Structure 1
């Protein structure tokens, strides 16, 4: 995982524009008949409203101690009980099988290699009860966007520069203070391949959180998969 802890300081401002995903993941949680787990829980941006709206106790994992500290503070302020654990999603282990595991805000893209993603998907599959769901979203790479913003300074949210490295499928987010975080994008077929090797079944693929059809103009992958009832 590549994450500079100083990103935690302005993370809530950085992620403030992302709101449509909350209702989507909350709806999945309401349908869950067992434990609910959020990977890369961050500041609790999604987990807190999911727990509040569903009544479920959400287990939130994150490898960043700074982000977990913010999540604990935010949960206390909101009067919500989150089970927060400092852990690497590649090593996911649960004492009780989950009915839902979800990973919002493109956080799976912090995994740099196919091996990292395969390991994560296999650990998720092992942690799900039969019929349990795995949901996540990720951006769909657009070379037009990359050509327009590569190397250009941006002042929105937190002043930063994006650098695209097509050979590595990598985007570096470089803040003006030098803090850097990286994302590795994946194609639709790569995501589907990960489901295949983890023995998970695709339930839906949409181009947005309102169940928009995924097509060539879609900027986002929104996946829901299931562990088969029998293997």
Structure 2
């Protein structure tokens, strides 16, 4: 059983404020001439619209059996082809190189250490075909927001929860009143750049939101697209 299994039943409500990302990832998938993979696929919130848009199989990987079961049910109802696999993104391995790997909804922030993130980036780089893309998004840590909500019970979309910040560890602990709890570790711009460097990926674009506005002072989201370099091209 995964710590994220209890989230499967309420995932839609939890993710209700994150909707504009779907069209962004769909647009990247339309440009991908080859296999498309989603890490931390969850209940298929993004993977199903992607599969509908491109008309072919999407591989979805998640560590939660309950999330995958819900994704499988939804994929069958939508009549799309999702190849759903139970696994840890740190162990990513594909039979065929991917044209696009995505990791939506801040899922890379579930990785607790630099070493964990480095492994994922290196695995993704190895799994991509030359010219293939890796796209993800993550929130930008905002100290003003942290001061406002730290330790406060709040209700959003019918889910009562609290967020506790541990600045020394760059960690956020999320506790739901219904029981589930999990942690996120925020990442700085220089750390994202370092991960690209050590994995051999190159940054193609850094946006401040899914409408592709430029990342700037005051942006609250990292929306990143990286690419595996093609041999012989600078």
TM-score, normalization by structure 2:
0.96
Secondary structure, counterpart of 2:156 in structure 1: coil
Matched-pair contact (CA < 8 Å) for 1:140–1:187: yes
Partner of 1:171: 172
Quote the offset at 1:21 in angstroms: 0.5
Superposition RMSD in Å? 1.1
Secondary structure, counterpart of 1:71 in structure 2: helix
CA separation in 2, counterparts of 1:44 and 1:6? Answer: 16
Matches within 5 A, 1:1-12: 3-12=3-12
CA separation in 2, counterparts of 1:99 and 1:81? Answer: 17
CA separation in 2, counterparts of 1:84 and 1:57? Answer: 10
Matched-pair contact (CA < 8 Å) for 2:56–2:81: no
Matched-pair contact (CA < 8 Å) for 1:132–1:226: yes
Matched-pair contact (CA < 8 Å) for 1:3–1:182: no
CA separation in 1, counterparts of 2:219 and 2:36? Answer: 28
Partner of 1:224: 225
Matches within 5 A, 1:49-128: 49-128=49-128
CA separation in 2, counterparts of 1:135 and 1:3? Answer: 25
Matches within 5 A, 1:129-148: 129-148=129-148
CA separation in 1, counterparts of 2:8 and 2:42? Answer: 8
Matched-pair contact (CA < 8 Å) for 1:206–1:212: yes
CA separation in 1, counterparts of 2:4 and 2:71? Answer: 17
Which ranges in structure 1 are unaligned for 5 or more consecutive residues?
Answer: none
Partner of 1:207: 208
Q: Which runs of 4+ in 1 moved over 4 A?
A: none
Matches within 5 A, 1:142-161: 142-157=142-157, 158-161=159-162
Quote the offset at 1:178 in angstroms: 3.1
Which ranges in structure 2 are unaligned for 5 or more consecutive residues?
Answer: none
Tell me the number of residue pairs that the alignment of Structure 1 and Structure 2 aligns.
Answer: 230
